[in-house]
Amino acid sequence: MRSRVRIRSRLYPAGSLVLALAAAGSVLAGTAAPASAAGSPAPADLRADVNRDGRVDLGGDSDTSGEDGWSVGRGTLVLPNIDDDTKRCPVSGPGGRPLTDAKLAACNDATDKKVNGGADASDLARVRSVPMPGLPADAKGSLKLTTGGKHAHLFLKRSGKWVLVTSTTRLTAAELRSGAEFGVEATDVVRDTAKWDGRVVVQLTVTSGARATTSDSVTLRVAPLLTQHHLQNTQQVMVTEVQGEGPYSRLQQKFVKELATEVKKAGVTTPLVKFTKYADPWAQDFVEPAYVSMTGPGGKRQVMRVMLRSAQPDRDAGRELFEKVRGRDVGVVQVTDRAEPDDWSLNSMGNLETIPPYAHGGRSFPAGRIIQGWRKDSGARTSKVMSTLLKSQGMQDPLLLDTSWLGVGHVDEFVQFLPADTPRGWRIGIADPQAGLRLLRDAKSAGHGRTKMFSVPGRSDTPAPKETIDQALADRHLVADNEMAARRIAANLEILKRETGVTDDEVVRVPALYTRDSEAAADSGQEVPVPRLTRMGADADLVGALKDRGQQKWLAGNPAAPRTVTTSAYVPGAVNGVLLGRDRYLAPRQWGPVIDGKDIFTEAVGAVYRRVGLKVSYIDDWYTYHLGMGEVHCGTNTLRDASAAWWR
């Protein structure tokens, strides 16, 4: 039997895998006799679910080792109870007036002082006291949070009901003799470990008159906020459905209908989540679905989705996460950073993707690892507040890739991660501009140089591009810019290979072509081969939903900034699609040159994905997203199965 007389000071190695968490343990003070003495009551003994199996072991020792610390694989978890189980939080003010962002975020289940999770109180982490049958009638117990008290609530289950523990709460001798049950909720995720490292320490003190005092503590740590990865199955797809009868609205609504059909064909039967209020079509960009989880009572995994709003306070679309999506087991986190960012577009969530779980070079990422883009040429990075929040989780240490060469600057424009039946379990999908150029050169060599570069039909408001393969290859900027893109992509791939251990055999190279953006072309006096609207600024008639953003805005405020030539997809970017299942991939329709009745880009892209076991379907996004410098992935989002134990 373990001794309950102890003073501990544990040091855990620093790094992304283990959080340095230590707490004072049990103390035995006053005149109490040793636990082994005849007739002496047992010392106070608190237990929690240290091994994360969903039960608190009172009779054995499975939950004793490590109860005062926390590591990736062991230690008690507590959920940040930031959902809204009963939909009690207001989404508008008096008279239907909009609430401020701060007021929308100010309400959730942890902002009151009662249990909201239903009869099973599944959002609460359980703590129990070991029964103390030998206590005298005058014994009493008191509870307090010695660490993290500003960030958690402690409840006591009394007469079948949960009551908030306060400074005046006392446990009776009868409750201590039979053993008491407690519940803990955290009031927020960890946002900055310099302010709160996520620890919550619960202490029970038992007194018996003036004769003896015995106390014990257990440490809990708020579950880390984790982003999804592509080894988690798609459960639901989200998209904006732009309202209205304008030309763009009708096109975009058609896209949504076709998307719903493709999603259902892939076996995802839950209806689409449709954002309808703010007409921001870039559903990938204003939110990153994340999650927190622990093992709840009875061994069932308790998962709370957390919608991570982009660090773009002037982007109204993020408000709909509070107004529509937040509810039972769904919370929302937003960060407040009113300082003008170096690059607004970098803070879009299309610039946050997640490498699936891996271990390499002495580091392990059992829940995957975040990648984000930064502009190496200028030094522009994502919001410091968001970066601090992501790093503070201690699990998915963000890896930066250079997106200086992209106008929008998002990692989803050139890299993806695909499930694979290999020991690693996944592959890297990477855009390959050299393969795209080869397709054109081979077609020209075969005598098809006069074939139209694009097969997309025109519209009355937007004529179809007219250039031929010959004309595209004769454009020195198009060729040079794709050779530049190939070099930049290769450099980023080397970073990924170095960090993950992925080999060339685990890389899927997908044909692609890029073209310089309107701003870069104007600077050089050149015309862009395809008319671009822009994901960072838009034609008011065709894409009135888009707002001025990104590189254009940043350059205007930084006249001395390097004028790097930036690009976006020339042929719709196939890697910028949606993985709907382990073997189902939805790509943007290519609209490439048609030779002998076949689109050469569609044929090449399909062949690449089929070789790695993916069935590819295509959806037309030319006028809805492609001309706005984005693709299918940029316009959609996914909710994935997060029920697996990330700590294993």
Asked whether the domain spanning 226-640 has the same topology as the one spanning 27-81+124-222, the reply is no
The string of pLDDT tens digits covering residues 477-520 is 999 999 999 999 999 999 999 999 999 999 999 999 999 986 44
On the question of pLDDT at 242 being above 80, the answer is yes
Q: Which of 15-24, 154-163, 521-530 has the lowest mean pLDDT?
A: 15-24
In this prediction, residue 283 carries a pLDDT of 98
The string of pLDDT tens digits covering residues 436-464 is 999 999 999 999 999 999 999 999 888 99
The string of pLDDT tens digits covering residues 352-372 is 999 999 999 999 999 999 999
Cα 170 to Cα 147: distance, rounded to the nearest angstrom: 20
On the question of pLDDT at 467 being above 90, the answer is yes
DSSP collapsed to 3 states, 254-321: HHHHHHHHHHHHCCCCCCCEEECCCCCCCCCCCEEEEEEEEECHHHCEEEEEEEEECCCCCCHHHHHH
Mean pLDDT value of segment 198-220: 92
In this prediction, residue 462 carries a pLDDT of 87
The string of pLDDT tens digits covering residues 58-71 is 999 999 999 999 99
On the question of pLDDT at 626 being above 80, the answer is yes
In this prediction, residue 40 carries a pLDDT of 62
Report residue 569's pLDDT band, with 50, 70 and 90 as the boundaries.
very high
In this prediction, residue 563 carries a pLDDT of 55
On the question of pLDDT at 537 being above 80, the answer is no
Mean pLDDT value of segment 631-639: 98
446 Cβ contact partners less than 8 Å away, ≥ 6 residues apart: 595
383 Cβ contact partners less than 8 Å away, ≥ 6 residues apart: 311, 335, 337, 341, 347
Mean pLDDT value of segment 229-238: 98
Instruction: Please give the full DSSP string across 508-545, using - where no structure is assigned.
Output: EEEE--EEE-HHHHHHHTPPPSS----TTS--TTT-TT
On the question of pLDDT at 310 being above 90, the answer is yes
Q: Which of 40-44, 62-66, 247-251, 347-351 has the lowest mean pLDDT?
A: 40-44
Cα 408 to Cα 379: distance, rounded to the nearest angstrom: 15
**Contact criterion met (CB below 8 Å) for 648 and 366:** yes
- Mapped onto helix, strand or coil, the DSSP state of residue 387 is helix
Q: What percent of the chain has pLDDT over 90?
A: 81
Q: State both tokens at 413.
A: 């424009």
On the question of pLDDT at 44 being above 70, the answer is yes
Locate tokens 């040159």: which residue? Answer: 593
CA distances from 470 to 442, 452, 463, 487 (A): 11, 9, 20, 24
Minimal CA–CA distance to 427: which of 516, 503, 350, 537? 503
Report residue 648's pLDDT band, with 50, 70 and 90 as the boundaries.
confident
**Contact criterion met (CB below 8 Å) for 502 and 424:** yes
Mean pLDDT value of segment 218-237: 98
More confident residue, 432 or 33: 432
Indicate the CATH number for domain 27-81+124-222.
2.60.40.1700
Domain range summary for the chain, segments of one domain joined by +: 27-81+124-222, 226-640
134 Cβ contact partners less than 8 Å away, ≥ 6 residues apart: 39, 40, 41, 42
545: amino acid identity, one letter: A
Please state, as a whole number, how many other Cβ atoms lie within 10 Å of the Cβ of residue 277. 13
Instruction: State the average pLDDT for the chain.
Output: 88
Buried b or exposed e, range 92-124, using 16+ CB within 10 angstroms: eeeeeeebebeebbebbbbeeeebbbeeebbbb
Cα 406 to Cα 512: distance, rounded to the nearest angstrom: 14
In this prediction, residue 527 carries a pLDDT of 40
78: amino acid identity, one letter: V
What is the CATH topology of the domain spanning 226-640?
Answer: L-arginine/glycine Amidinotransferase; Chain A (3.75.10)
